[in-house]
Chain A
Amino acid sequence: MEWMSWTLPTAIFFASIAAILVAMTAWELRSASIERRGFLPIATTRGDRLFIGLLGSAYLHLLVIGATSWNIWVASGLSLVWLLVVMRWG
C-alpha cells in the first residue's frame, strides 16, 4: 500500500464514502427506495439523490477553492447541508 501514498484526510474521505455506500445498501435492503419527485426537476431514488448530493458537493468545493479565499471547511460545511437537503427534500 506504500505506493498509493495514503494520507490521513484521503483515507478518512474514502472510508466515509465506503461507509455511506454500505449504509445505503443496508437501508435499501430494509426498506426499498421509491422513486419520487422533490424540488429537483427529475424523479429520483435515494441513490440518485446521494449521487447528486456528492457531485454537487465536489463542485461546491471546487468553487470555494477556485473562486474564493475561504477556508475549505466552509465548503465542507455547506456541502453537508446541501447533501442533507437533497437527500430529504430533493
Chain B
Amino acid sequence: MTKVQNNKAWWLVLPVFLLVAFSAIIPMMTVVNYSVQDIFDQSSRYFVGADWFRQVLQDPRLHDSLLRQFIYSACVLLIEIPLGIGIALTMPTKGRWSSLCLIVMTIPLLIPFNVVGTIWQIFGRGDIGLLGWILNDVLGISYNYAANASDAWVTVLVIDVWHWTSLVALLCYSGLRAIPDVYYQAARIDRASNWAVFRHIQLPKMKSVLLIAVMLRFMDSFMIYTEPFVLTGGGPGNSTTFLSQTLTTMALGQFDLGPAAAFSLVYFLIILLVSWVFYTAMTHSEKN
C-alpha cells in the first residue's frame, strides 16, 4: 500500500500564521520601512536609501558591542552546554531524590530576569552582599563589579550560568530518560566503557534536545539585556554593554529610529544566519 501525502493539514497552521503575521511579520516590515527613511513625523519623512545601513555598519561602537556579544554568547554556550549535560548525567533517575532535584533545578528558571539581576547585584556587593563580602574580606580577593570590567564580565556570565544551566540540564535529562534500557544492556554485554556509552548511546540520543538547548541559549544570550542593565547599566565604561542595550540606547534614548531600524535588521540577519548554521550542522551531520 502506498502512503498518500495529504497536504491539506497545512491549513491548520493558518491561525498561527495569522498570529505571527500580526506579532512579527508586519512589525518587521515596518522596521524595514523605517530603516530606509529619515522620519520626523508622519508628514515629514525622507527616503535616504542605504545611508543608515552604511552608518551602522561603519560605527566602531557597534563593532565593539558585536564583538563583545559574540564572545559572551560563545562563553555561555561553552559553559552551559557541557555543564548541563554533566548535571543531567549525574542526576538521580528515580525515587524521591529525582523529584527533589527536578524541583530545585526548576527554581532559577522561574525567576524573572530583572529579579535575577537585582539578586546578584545585592549578592555581589562588597559591603552588604554575601558573595562580595566572602570574596573581599574572607578570601582576600579584590572583587568589585561596579569598578572592575573583568569582575563585571564574570558576574554577568555567572548570572546567566546560574539562571539557565538548569534549562539545558532538564532538556538533557528528558532526552536521557527517553533512551530504552536495552541500549545499556547491549553496551554492558559488549563491555563498553562509560565514555563509549556516553559517546555512542547517550550523546546521539540527546541530539535533538541538545539542538533545542543550543538554539535557545544562543538566541537568549545573544539578546541579553536585563541582567547587565540591572547589574551595572552596561558598565564599567562600556564593558558589559551588549548589542540589545546599544540598540535600545539608540532607538529610545537618542530616538534615532532610522539607524536603530537598520541596526536591528543587521542584528536579525546575524541571529538568522547563526541559528540556521547550528540547525543545519546538527540535522545534516547524521545524513552524510
Contact = CB atoms under 8 A, between A and B. Distances in A.
A9 B48 CA distance: 11
Interface string A51-72: 1000100110110011100001
A62 B287 contact: no
B9 to A, nearest CB: 15
Interface residues of A, number: 22
Given A62-B53, A65-B50, A14 B29 contact: yes
Interface in B17-54: 26, 29-30, 32-34, 36-37, 39, 42, 45, 47, 49-50, 53-54
Residue of A43, A58, A61, A65 with highest tally of chain B CB at under 10 A: A65
Interface string B70-101: 00000000000000000000000000000000
Contacts of A67: 57
Contacts of A7: 33, 36-37, 47
30 contacts: A3-B30, A3-B42, A4-B30, A5-B30, A5-B33, A5-B37, A5-B39, A5-B45, A6-B33, A7-B33, A7-B36, A9-B47, A10-B29, A10-B32, A10-B33, A10-B36, A13-B32, A43-B284, A55-B273, A55-B276, A58-B269, A59-B269, A59-B273, A62-B266, A62-B269, A65-B50, A65-B54, A65-B57, A66-B53, A67-B57
Given A5-B37, A61-B50, A66-B54, 20 more contacts: A2-B42, A6-B33, A10-B29, A10-B33, A10-B36, A13-B32, A14-B32, A42-B280, A42-B284, A51-B276, A55-B273, A58-B269, A62-B53, A62-B57, A62-B266, A65-B54, A65-B57, A66-B53, A66-B57, A72-B50
A62 B280 CA distance: 23
